[in-house]
Structure 1
């Protein structure tokens, strides 16, 4: 399975010799680093080699794009995301990653290492030592520098062959009706490829200029630009000069507002949409209504590329924009706008958590993850109060979709800097407690819940009191104290007469109450309240709480010997958890579905699905978890399925479930 690789959005040209030599390199080395200057095509060569299977058939390819990272802080987390690890333990991220990959056969691509060479050296060394089935393909402007690494220099395309093909291909895409095959056009194309030294990015940018004139005109402007640079500011080697000229030339051909947008977009770290561009870049002469046409102009000139439903700027082009941002004296203002824009994005997501766009907000925050982290880094140094607010609001989203380490790290950093008592600090402590709970630190979560309750009482913070009740209630449930959990939830709900959807904290307390009813054996009451809450969630387009009502309804159906109904609820839970990207919740749902299938006599499917469930539990770093009621059901259903199939057949099906593509297995069972 190929995991997390970018799409090849344009045709790949040439590099046959490089592809062959790269395959040979991996026959004798576990780490190969593609080196070369920016724009020479290192990442594109790596992507084509991976997606075409040139490097052989490893079970999994994980592509980690390191270009959005400002420093090494999120390196291990980024590689974990790429490799499918959503660690829910308090281990150091690098240790968890080594444990996760230890028994896997995987090709890991570390793309754009040059600004994190020391950190990449340490992480790659640890991974290669701990994970014998791992190989690494890196791209960098310099070698990573670990023992046994093979440096593979990527050079320009040949002027008289592949460079001509690439330029012609991009020129025809930019200006389909333009003539390129006449004698004068052929001479001009050859001259452009020679003057740009066959650098792929330079050729792409030059090809895009054919929207503005003939190939002869483009060649003449390029000749003039290079002559001027030779006279004023010679650069060595020549290929660096060629790329710099091509980028600078593209910059000159931009309209003034396009240049300003280019500079301001350089503060964005990841893929962005038009609304993010407006939020970050509007100001002065660049009005909101001017962003869309300016962005379209940058796309037309290949300065910005489309990535799915969003946009992306290549590192080399972003660096040029950042240089101009500094020349304009706007760096500080742009970083501030960026931080405020993503703080506002997190606020809107948090405020919309109960609404019909809930699943969409989870997806938007996942896509914006590098920029949310960059905004938090900025606010930690400039506005600790805003950083604390932002971390507290995004923490619950992150806890759901596998970013527990980041949630805890940013929350602890913000709380250490912002000591002012009040609801902002209380909420941050609550979010930290939720993260600790999911990492298995029940005592720490309980202490934080009690602290939140005390501070919310002091501040007459009603939402704070209810949030603390949720945290304490869940802690009681996971510790086997359903009566205590129910009492905490009921006290909090006594002041919430407007129903479960009055606020997020009220909804969560209703869930605690339902869990407590199930845990204390009041199954009919639990069923009635879970069904009522589920209907309310469905009518509002809410998924998070709805998924846990399905969890309870499935569990109760198993208790009451209704396996088909239990399976139906478990599949509904899995569908919702998949929409939110909740690996922990998927693991829970798979356990429930496996138990329901075993209870219904579908023993082969139950055994295989139990194996798939184990694969997901490994991905969160925990043994099987959940409320205490689930454990005995798991054990009984495994015993029954094993008895029906025999140990050998059960173990064979179980291994198949562990080893098959987990995401495809999930898609299959959700579809029924």
Structure 2
């Protein structure tokens, strides 16, 4: 029933792994044979024939239909061309994000990319297959940083670096962010090793900017290890050099890391001064979220260490507001912990326990150590938990943490920003999980989806045909009322966190 043009578009749409909008279709699926101005008609025709699902202002192919279209795309000998256009399209959007990172556009640009998470992963896979992974992975850093996804970043950057070991500006750039994400993941040994490799290759290129950024990465790793003197020395030199040869973003990142080391290394006054410079560099009226959010977050820690509880409460509220502008789970988790530490220092132990519970699940979901393994942050967290337990009793502490764990994110953030000690309308513990309506086979398939497996990998694991695996996945989506595989992943992770965390 499809026209030739509709069949051609169907095949090309199979390159998208998740939902997509019209702008993506026009960039990835059009050429002289199917011009940009002529794509809306066949797209509407595919929606009318239920080949394409319409989801508000976005569209999607079900997995089985997508696989069928992909087979056509190969037969047409267009797979490489369409995938290359998809890589170029998402790299262009990522470069725009990088260029506007230090502005109020940061959070909106990040949110605009979130619905394309599965497509970004697909673009990375296509780039890996075509030998283009290094520039694509290096361009992903602002998305991974704002999303709080250091593990995924390390995975792709490691693949890219291993495939292209020769020194180049693109590789040095990838080393910078590979070192940064390793540090954020708590792997400081790897972060230092990558910073050393970056410095060596920057020297081969004779580029003073990359040499300064390599020194900055080494200082960051030393700072997370608690090696304050070494970190301050490296970061101070790097900052001076970047004032001469770096961009505003380079200077902001180096200043942020120097202020963080000082704040976490017992030099509260110096740290607050440097971090205040960071907020002035960005512009205090700016709605830039990540740099300012981290700066105010480490100011909060410095104020706590200095015993200025009122200042800690003010900066803590500000950082929650900033990180809530975007979906950065990791940053928001660290921030809410600091708000809870402040509440303990104020003697508001019930408030602290509820917030601690609300933060339990994100750290379990991200498989991250509390306080990112930093000695001072870990000490602050353990002291606060101990004080709350002594004031409330261990039983009451755990009961309140379980209540906090049931707060939806929006309600948890609103509670942290309020002056309340008891949140309104704490939801009851659910009696059954969302996946209880699945058959045993569907539950097994859902668990494999949560592990990141494709339908073909699920079929191999369960020893079933690919078409049967496709059917299982579509039944799971229908029963749970979901449109995306990522929603299954989130649902399974939520159940795992509820079962395994202290709040469970």
TM-score relative to the length of structure 1: 0.57
List per-residue Cα deviations over 1:204-246 (Å, max 9, x = no partner): xxxxxxxxxxxxxxxxxxxxxxxxxxxxxxxxxxxxxxxxxxx
Task: Looking at secondary structure, tell me which structure has more helix per residue.
Answer: 2
The aligned counterpart of 1:628 is 375
Q: Is the 8 A contact 1:482 1:515 kept in 2?
A: no
2:273 equivalent in structure 1: 528
Q: Which runs of 5+ in 1 are unaligned?
A: 1-248
CA–CA separation in structure 2 for the residues paired with 1:492 and 1:482: 15
Other-structure match for 1:505: 250
- Residue 441 of structure 1: which of 182, 187, 192 is its match? 187
**1:521 shift after superposition:** 4.0
Residue 650 in 1 paired to residue 397 in 2?
yes
The residue correspondences of 1:133-144 to structure 2 (distance < 5 A) are: none
Given the alignment, which residue of 313, 330, 333 partners 2:81?
A: 333
Q: CA deviation at 1:605?
A: 0.8
Q: CA–CA distance in 1 between the matches of 2:169 and 2:349?
A: 51
| Distance change (3 Å), C-alpha of 1:638 and 1:415 | closer
Asked if the contact 1:265/1:277 (under 8 Å) is kept, the reply is: yes
The answer to whether the 8 Å contact 1:352/1:358 transfers is yes
Matching residue of 2:312? 566
Post-superposition shift, 1:471? 1.8
Mapped partners of 1:402, 1:494: distance in 2: 28
Is 1:517 matched with 2:265?
no
Distance across 2 between alignment mates of 1:635 and 1:413: 36
In structure 2, relative to structure 1, the CA distance for the partners of 1:322 and 1:443 (3 Å cut) is closer
Q: Deviations over 1:335-376 (max 9, x none)?
A: 222222223333333333223322233334432222222222
The answer to whether the Cα contact below 8 Å between 2:329 and 2:362 also exists between their aligned partners in 1 is yes
Q: Per-residue deviation at 1:258? A: 4.3
Distance 1:531 1:334 in 2: 47
8 Å contact kept, 2:104–2:286: yes
Separation in 1, partners of 2:174, 2:304: 37
SS of equivalent residue, structure 2 residue 59: strand
Distance 1:499 1:669 in 2: 44
Which has the greater radius of gyration?
A: 1
Query: What per-residue deviation string (whole Å, max 9, x for no partner) do you get for residues 587-645 of structure 1?
Result: 21121111111112212111222222333322232342244333333344334433433
Q: Is residue 171 of structure 2 the alignment partner of residue 425 of structure 1?
A: yes
User: Structure 2-normalised TM-score?
Assistant: 0.74
Instruction: Give the conservation status (yes or no) of the 8 Å contact 1:466–1:509.
Output: no
Alpha-carbon separation, structure 1, partners of 2:272 and 2:245:
17
Equivalences for 1:48-59 in 2 at 5 Å? Answer: none
Whether contact under 8 Å (1:271, 1:368) holds in the other structure is: yes
Residue equivalent to 1:602: 348
Whole-angstrom CA distance in 2 between matches of 1:316 and 1:628? 50
Counterparts in 2 of 1:592 and 1:336: CA distance versus 1, 3 Å:
same
Quote the offset at 1:480 in angstroms. 0.8
- Find the counterpart in structure 2 of residue 290 from structure 1: 38
**In structure 2, do the counterparts of structure 1 residues 463 and 257 end up closer, same or farther at CA, with 3 Å as the change threshold?**
farther
1:315 aligns with 2:63: yes
Q: How does 1:204-215 map to 2 (within 5 A)?
A: none
Check whether the contact 2:16–2:119 (CA below 8 A) recurs between aligned residues.
yes
Which structure dedicates a bigger proportion of its chain to strand?
1
CA 651–320 in structure 1, closer or farther in 2 if over 3 Å, else same: closer
SS in 2 for 1:311: strand
Match of 2:137 in 1: 391
Q: Secondary structure at the match of 2:375?
A: coil
Aligned residues of 1:473 and 1:489 also touching (Cα < 8 A): yes
> Partner of 2:362 in structure 1?
616
* Equivalences for residues 52-91 of structure 1 within 5 A: none
Look up the match of 1:273. Answer: 21
In 2: Cα distance, 1:416 partner to 1:649 partner: 50
In structure 2, what is the equivalent of residue 586 of structure 1? 332
SS of equivalent residue, structure 1 residue 541: coil
> 1:281 Cα deviation (Å)?
1.3
How big is the shift at 1:489?
A: 1.6
Structure 1: 4+ residue segments shifted above 4 A: 256-259
How far 1:330 moved relative to its partner? 2.4
In the other structure, the counterpart of 1:465 is 211
Match of 2:496 in 1: none
Preserved CA contact (<8 Å) 1:483 1:516: no
Count of residues in Structure 1 that have an aligned counterpart in Structure 2: 416
CA distance in 1, matches of 2:19, 2:29: 15
User: CA, structure 1 residues 465+360, in 2 after alignment: closer, same or farther (shift >3 Å)?
Assistant: farther
Aligned mates of 2:340, 2:150 — CA distance in 1: 27
Q: 1:262 to 1:513 in 2, by over 3 A?
A: same
Q: Say whether the 8 Å CA contact 1:463–1:505 is kept in structure 2.
A: no
In the alignment, which residue of structure 1 is the partner of 2:91? 343
Sort the Cα spacing of 1:635 and 1:381 in 2 relative to 1 into closer, same or farther, 3 A: closer
Measured against aligned partners, the alpha-carbon deviations of 1:124-165 in whole angstroms (never above 9, x if no partner) come to: xxxxxxxxxxxxxxxxxxxxxxxxxxxxxxxxxxxxxxxxxx
Q: Does structure 2 conserve the Cα–Cα contact (< 8 Å) formed by 1:411 and 1:428?
A: yes
CA offsets per residue over residues 406-461 of structure 1, 9 Å max, x none? 32332222222213212112222222222322332211211111111121122123
- Residue aligned with 1:377, SS: helix
State the partner residue of 2:234. Answer: 488
Secondary structure of the structure 1 residue equivalent to 2:17: coil
8 Å contact kept, 1:430–1:467: yes
* CA–CA distance in structure 2, aligned partners of residues 273 and 652 of structure 1: 45
Q: Which residue number in structure 2 is paired with residue 113 of structure 1?
A: none
Distance in 2 separating the partners of 1:310 and 1:284: 24
* Counterpart secondary structure, 1:653: helix
Once the two structures are superposed, residues 450-502 of structure 1 have per-residue CA deviations (whole angstroms, 9 ceiling, x without a partner) of 111121122123442233233212211111122222221221121233799x3
- In structure 2, do the counterparts of structure 1 residues 480 and 320 end up closer, same or farther at CA, with 3 Å as the change threshold? closer
One of 530, 544, 550 as aligned partner of 2:296: 550
What is the RMSD of the two structures over their aligned residues, measured on CA atoms? 2.8
